[in-house]
Amino acid sequence: KRCSVTRFHFLPLIIFLVGLHAVEGIWPLPQTMTSSAERYSLDPQYFNFNYGRDSATQQGCSVLDAAFKRYFSIIFPDHISGSVFAERAALNAETVWGALRGNSNNLCSMFMNKGITFFVNKTEIEDFPRFQFRGVLLDTSRHYLPVQVILKTLDAMSYSKFNVFHWHIVDDPSFPYQSRTFPGLSSKGAFHPMTHIYTQSDVRRVISYARLRGIRVLPEFDSPGHTQSWGKGQSDLLTPCYKGGIPSGTFGPVNPASASSYQFMARLFKEVSAVFPESYIHLGGDEVDVSCWKSNPDVQVFMQKMGFGNDFAKLESYYMENLVNITSALNKTSIVWQDVFEYHERVSTPQQMIVVWREGCYLCEVRRVTKAGLKVILASPWYLDLPGPTHDWVRYYTVWPLAFKGTEEQKKLVIGGEVCMWGEYVDATNLSPRLWPRASAAAERLWSDEKQTSSVARAFSRLQDFRCKLLRRGIQAEPLFVGHCRHEYQGV
Amino acid sequence: MSEVHSRRCSVTRFHFLPLIIFLVGLHAVEGIWPLPQTMTSSAERYSLDPQYFNFNYGRDSATQQGCSVLDAAFKRYFSIIFPDHISGNCALPFSEAKEYSLDVYVDQGDCESYPNSDSSEKYKLSVFAERAALNAETVWGALRGLETFSQLVYQDDFGIFFVNKTEIEDFPRFQFRGVLLDTSRHYLPVQVILKTLDAMSYSKFNVFHWHIVDDPSFPYQSRTFPGLSSKGAFHPMTHIYTQSDVRRVISYARLRGIRVLPEFDSPGHTQSWGKGQSDLLTPCYKGGIPSGTFGPVNPASASSYQFMARLFKEVSAVFPESYIHLGGDEVDVSCWKSNPDVQVFMQKMGFGNDFAKLESYYMENLVNITSALNKTSIVWQDVFEYHERRSSLSVVEVWREGCYLCEVRRVTKAGLKVILASPWYLDLPGPTHDWVRYYTVWPLAFKGTEEQKKLVIGGEVCMWGEYVDATNLSPRLWPRASAAAERLWSDEKQTSSVARAFSRLQDFRCKLLRRGIQAEPLFVGHCRHEYQGV
Question: Which of the residue ranges A5-9, A219-223, A289-293 would you say has the lowest mean pLDDT?
Answer: A5-9
Give the model's pLDDT for residue A27.
96
Give the model's pLDDT for residue A342.
85
Half-sphere exposure (Cβ direction) of B462: Cα atoms closer than 13 Å: 25
Question: Do strands A414-421 and A133-139 pair parallel, antiparallel, or not at all (unpaired)?
Answer: parallel
Give the model's pLDDT for residue B27.
40
CB contacts < 8 Å between A and B, how many? 193
| Alpha carbon B302 to chain centroid, angstroms | 35
Please list the residues that pair with A166 across neighbouring strands.
Answer: A137, A218
Kindly tell me if the per-residue pLDDT of B86 is higher than 90: no
Kindly tell me if the per-residue pLDDT of A329 is higher than 50: yes
Half-sphere exposure (Cβ direction) of A252: Cα atoms closer than 13 Å: 21
Domains, chain A: 32-126 (3.30.379.10), 133-385+397-421+443-449 (3.20.20.80)
Within 10 Å of residue B392's Cβ, how many Cβ atoms? 14
Q: What does A345-399 look like in DSSP terms, one character per residue?
A: S----TT-EEEE--SSSHHHHHHHHHHTT-EEEE-GGGBTTS-B-TT-THHHHS-
Name the minimum distance, in Å, from the CA of A475 to any CA of chain B.
9
> Which CA distances in Å does A207 have to A74, A477, B170, B387, B513?
22, 24, 53, 65, 28
Give the model's pLDDT for residue B392.
83
More confident residue, B84 or A33: A33
How much is the average pLDDT of A429-448? 96
Give the model's pLDDT for residue A389.
61
**What is the pTM assigned to this prediction?**
0.90
Q: What does A455-475 look like in DSSP terms, one character per residue?
A: -HHHHHHHHHHHHHHHHHTT-
How much is the average pLDDT of B91-101? 66
Structure confidence by residue, pLDDT tens digits, B493-533: 999 999 999 999 999 999 999 999 999 999 999 999 999 87
Which of A287, A345, A424, A488 is labelled catalytic?
A: A287
Q: What is the mean pLDDT of chain A?
A: 89
Cβ–Cβ contact A195 with B under 8 A: yes
For residue A45, the SS3 value is helix
Question: Which of the residue ranges A222-236, A338-352, B79-93 would you say has the lowest mean pLDDT?
Answer: B79-93
Give the model's pLDDT for residue B92.
46
How much is the average pLDDT of A217-229? 98
Give the model's pLDDT for residue B265.
98
Residue pair A138/A152 in contact by the 8 Å Cβ criterion: no
A150-176 as b/e: b if 16+ CB within 10 A: bbbbbbbbbbbbbbbbbbbbbbbbbbb
Give the model's pLDDT for residue A241.
97
DSSP symbol at A198: B
Structure confidence by residue, pLDDT tens digits, B144-201: 999 999 999 999 888 899 999 999 999 999 999 999 999 999 999 999 999 999 999 9
Q: In chain B, positions 2-21, which contact chain A (CB-CB < 8 Å)?
A: 2, 5-11, 14
Which among A192, A424, A490 has the least Cβ separation from residue B524?
A424
Q: In chain B, positions 261-280, which contact chain A (CB-CB < 8 Å)?
A: none
Q: Nearest-CA neighbor of B191 among B128, B136, B126, B241?
A: B241
Kindly tell me if the per-residue pLDDT of A113 is higher than 50: no
> Would you call A359 a catalytic residue per the annotation?
no
Structure confidence by residue, pLDDT tens digits, B207-245: 999 999 999 999 999 999 999 999 999 999 999 999 999
Position A350 confidence tier, pLDDT thresholds 50, 70, 90: low
How much is the average pLDDT of A150-170? 98
Kindly tell me if the per-residue pLDDT of A370 is higher than 70: yes
Name the minimum distance, in Å, from the CA of A205 to any CA of chain B.
17
Kindly tell me if the per-residue pLDDT of A12 is higher than 90: no
Q: What is the mean pLDDT of chain B?
A: 91
Kindly tell me if the per-residue pLDDT of B489 is higher than 60: yes
Cβ–Cβ contact A393 with B under 8 A: no
Residue pair A437/A478 in contact by the 8 Å Cβ criterion: yes
Residue pair B160/B131 in contact by the 8 Å Cβ criterion: no
Q: In chain B, positions 229-258, which contact chain A (CB-CB < 8 Å)?
A: 234-235, 238-239
Cβ–Cβ contact A188 with B under 8 A: no
Kindly tell me if the per-residue pLDDT of A112 is higher than 70: no
How much is the average pLDDT of B75-100? 72
Question: Which of the residue ranges A181-185, A428-432, B29-33 would you say has the lowest mean pLDDT?
Answer: B29-33
Write the CB contacts of B477 (distance below 8 Å, at least 6 apart in sequence).
B179, B196, B199, B426, B461, B463
Structure confidence by residue, pLDDT tens digits, B120-147: 999 999 999 999 999 999 999 999 999 9
Q: In chain B, positions 421-440, which contact chain A (CB-CB < 8 Å)?
A: 425, 427-434
Which among B429, B465, B534 has the least Cβ separation from residue A389?
B429
Please list the residues that pair with A377 across neighbouring strands.
Answer: A355, A416
Please count the helices (runs of H) and the strands (runs of E) in chain B: 18, 17
Kindly tell me if the per-residue pLDDT of A339 is higher than 70: yes
Question: Do strands B323-327 and B259-266 pair parallel, antiparallel, or not at all (unpaired)?
Answer: parallel
Structure confidence by residue, pLDDT tens digits, B15-62: 333 333 333 333 445 689 999 999 999 999 999 999 999 999 999 999
Report d(CA B260, CA B276) in Å as an integer: 25
| Backbone dihedral angles phi then psi of residue A380, each to the nearest 5 degrees | -45, -50
Residue pair A288/A225 in contact by the 8 Å Cβ criterion: yes
Position A390 confidence tier, pLDDT thresholds 50, 70, 90: low
Report d(CA B375, CA B367) in Å as an integer: 9
Give the model's pLDDT for residue A104.
63
Which of B112, B330, B388, B530 is labelled catalytic?
A: B330
More confident residue, B417 or B534: B417
How much is the average pLDDT of A124-152? 97
Chain B: residue nearest A424 by CA? B524
Half-sphere exposure (Cβ direction) of A224: Cα atoms closer than 13 Å: 32
Q: Does B5 sit within 8 Å of A428, measured CB to CB?
A: no
For residue A421, the SS3 value is strand
Question: Which of the residue ranges A86-90, A376-380, B74-78, B382-386 would you say has the lowest mean pLDDT?
Answer: A86-90
Mutate to test the interface with B, among A392, A424, A426, A438 (most CBs of B within 10 A): A424
